[in-house]
Amino acid sequence: MFSLKNKTILITGGTGSFGKKCAEHLLRRYSPKRLIIFSRDELKQHEMRVGGFDHPAMRYFIGDVRDVDRLRRAMVNVDVVIHAAALKQVPACEYNPIEAIQTNVNGGRNVIEAALDNRVHRVLALSTDKAVSPTNLYGATKLVAEKLFVQANAYRGGDPIRFSCVRYGNVVGSRGSVVPLFREQRKTGRITITDARMTRFWMTLDQAVELVLNSIETMYGGEVFIPKIPSMRVVDLAEVIAPDCEQVEIGIRPGEKLHETLISEDEARHSIELSTRYVITPMHPWWKDQEVAPGRPLPEGFQYSSNTNPQWLTQDQLRRLVGETDSQPETVSVES
């Protein structure tokens, strides 16, 4: 199994919620030789550094994934790349479609090109449930990015480089999540709900990081890793955060889904189930069936969706997850 210990690791979009939590785990558990934070905002890099991320192993590279030459320079002698940089806000991507394509699609291609040129050993890209049967541009760009990273394995030749993806749902505490919105709205006594029937997959930042790091250590190249995570009802979350507020239904926004799907029925035909995750395997000639951990094939007609998920968060569990009690947040292991 590939080991992350004492490796040189680069995180694109490293000043975001995921990047900072990932850096925290890497520094605490893996003693990286170098940990490179690659992002385009010098203020966020400064705030991250003075906020406690000033370890001797850390390097801060200002750059944009749209700039392939800067990526090539940043990846010199890098062992592992975690590609987290993206435009993620659905309404912003709908209104600025070319910008979303430039960052999420062309930026992904640039990461692949730079990694191939520098013979990086492992590259893992972060994706989203919105990439499955996408109804918005954000999901469509992430679907294209997934395809690019999976197929990049065909270009590695005799090099040891491997490309894979992880795909997961909403993350508690990440920037842009509905939790800070509800907390701000409760000051007015009125919470807006797009649709009372809406469900979402839900996981913590720690779970997301564990999924990513474990996937890097176990990947063969070409897989899409999907965690087994619980679903929640948005109305339950609103009730937990603002129990005394009026809930006003305003209708689904452009590009928004009522429920989310992590594995489609068609993908399930070439997926396997492990104890704590699913793995979508590639349907390409270069993939060998033996290059995967032992797992169970999924039943005919299987689909992994937030509204049919057998695992649900109760209001008490949601209350602990979002910190609305004095209890510690609950976590569910995603290691396999």
pLDDT digits 0-9 by tens, 30-52: 999 999 999 999 999 999 999 99
122's enclosing H/E stretch is strand 122-128
- Using pLDDT thresholds of 50, 70 and 90, give the confidence band for residue 304: very high
Tens digit of each residue's pLDDT (9 = 90 or more) over 206-259: 999 999 999 999 999 999 999 999 999 999 999 999 999 999 999 988 888 999
| CATH architecture of residue range(s) 8-171+202-228+262-304 | 3-Layer(aba) Sandwich (3.40)
- Using pLDDT thresholds of 50, 70 and 90, give the confidence band for residue 326: very low
β-strand partners of 172: 204
Is the pLDDT score of 313 beyond 60? yes
Over residues 77-105, mean pLDDT: 96
Give the residue with greater pLDDT, 84 vs 333: 84
Q: Are 239 and 300 in contact (CB under 8 A)?
A: no
The residue type found at 245 is C
Complete DSSP assignment for 243-285: TTSEEEE--PPTT--SS-EEE-HHHHTTEEE-SSEEEEPP-ST
Is the pLDDT score of 61 beyond 70? yes
Residue 157: per-residue pLDDT: 87
Over residues 270-281, mean pLDDT: 95
Residues shown for the chain: 336
Is the pLDDT score of 174 beyond 50? yes
- Using pLDDT thresholds of 50, 70 and 90, give the confidence band for residue 176: low
Over residues 54-77, mean pLDDT: 98
Residue 254: per-residue pLDDT: 80
Over residues 71-97, mean pLDDT: 96
Residue 180: per-residue pLDDT: 87
72's enclosing H/E stretch is helix 68-74
Give the residue with greater pLDDT, 214 vs 324: 214
Catalytic residue among 7, 21, 88, 130: 130
Q: Which long-range contacts (CB under 8 A, 24 or more apart) does 282-285 make?
A: 282/150, 282/153, 282/222, 282/223, 284/150, 284/151, 284/153, 284/154, 284/222
Alpha-carbon distance of 254 to 248, in angstroms, equals 18
User: Is 88 annotated in the active site?
Assistant: no
Residue-averaged pLDDT of the chain = 93
Q: Which residue has the tokens 């558990």?
A: 29
Is the pLDDT score of 291 beyond 70? no
Is the pLDDT score of 329 beyond 70? no
Alpha-carbon distance of 139 to 128, in angstroms, equals 7
pTM above 0.85, yes or no: yes
